[in-house]
Amino acid sequence: MTDAATKKVLVPGPDHPITVVPTGHRVTVTRGGRTLADTSRALTLEESTYPAVQYVPVEDVDPAVLAPSDHVSVCGDQISVS
């Protein structure tokens, strides 16, 4: 596992733009014919040259598919939603 404290922190700005906006349409996540998440409240995060990602509210995810994890994610201090 990568130590989050040793990862380079990229600050949003002209050299590393980050935007978060409402996706604007329904997002459905399925696997093997089973619906894992279904929402019209997803957010799209675009960070610099990385592919866009969808963030789905946990309330819109089937709780039966959630499990505790040791995984750690590190993000900037604040991102404004437009």
Tell me: the pLDDT tens digits for 60-82? 999 999 999 888 776 654 444 44
2-48 pLDDT, tens digit per residue, is 555 666 777 778 888 889 999 999 999 999 999 999 999 999 999 88
In whole angstroms, give the CA distance from residue 12 to residue 76: 8
